[in-house]
Amino acid sequence: MDVTTAILTRRSIHSLSGPAPSDQEFAYLLKGAAAAPDHGRLRPWRWILLRNADLEAVGARLAAEAEPEERDLVMKKFMRAPLKAVLVFSPKAKPRVPEWEQLASASNVAYGLMLLLHARGFGSIWRTGRLCQSPGSRSLLGVELDEQLLGSLDIGTPAVPAEPVRRSLEDVTDRMHFLRR
């Protein structure tokens, strides 16, 4: 799949099943995604892969922090995919590379990974919410005080196979501006 097709046909897939990429395949795809712009090659990010028992442990921690009537739903939502890849932002103290630029790099890696997963036939969806706010999950995942949970990618095989549909290109010329002299 060429890059234009990947960009124009990628969609967030809500219903995912197995298989998901193996750890080795994920590592291979991450190497490609890591080619994203990264001033100073700081790699100010890391991924925590959750499957099976690890997925259940973090889901249970999130559910325990929820209101009693929400706990089952929280757990069910957390277990929606066979692989959850949690993105941790780990900014580096480098005066030449501001933190906002490092955050942009981490975001680019996540999007590149989504495109590479899509090109391989996997589905994914970016998730934020409870996980990013949970003190218990931060502790369980080993997230340091100077790090930030940005979100996670639910990854798997689309439960309902569908032929990719190209997005129609919208007119965005109103978002282009030019210096007037």
Task: Quickly list DSSP for 109-165.
Answer: HHHHHHHHHHHTT-EEEEE-SHHHH-HHHHHHHT--TT-EEEEEEEEEEESS-----
- 135 contact partners, CB below 8 Å, separation of at least 6: 65
Q: What secondary structure letter does DSSP report for 46?
A: E
Query: What pLDDT, on a 0 to 100 scale, did the predictor assign at position 161?
Result: 82
The reported pLDDT for the residue numbered 162 is 78
At 95 the pLDDT is 82
- Residue 38's pLDDT is what? 96
Mean pLDDT per 10-residue run, the chain (181 residues)?
Answer: 94 96 98 96 97 97 96 96 98 92 98 98 96 94 96 96 86 94 86
User: Strand, helix or coil at 104?
Assistant: helix
Q: What is the pLDDT of residue 147?
A: 97
For the chain, which domains are there? 3-50+81-159 (3.40.109.10)
For residue 138, the model assigns a pLDDT of: 94
156 DSSP β-pair partners: 123
Q: What is the model's pLDDT at position 164?
A: 81
What pTM was estimated for this model as a whole? 0.93
How far is C-alpha 79 from the chain's CA centre?
15
As a whole number of angstroms, the longest Cα–Cα distance in the chain is 62
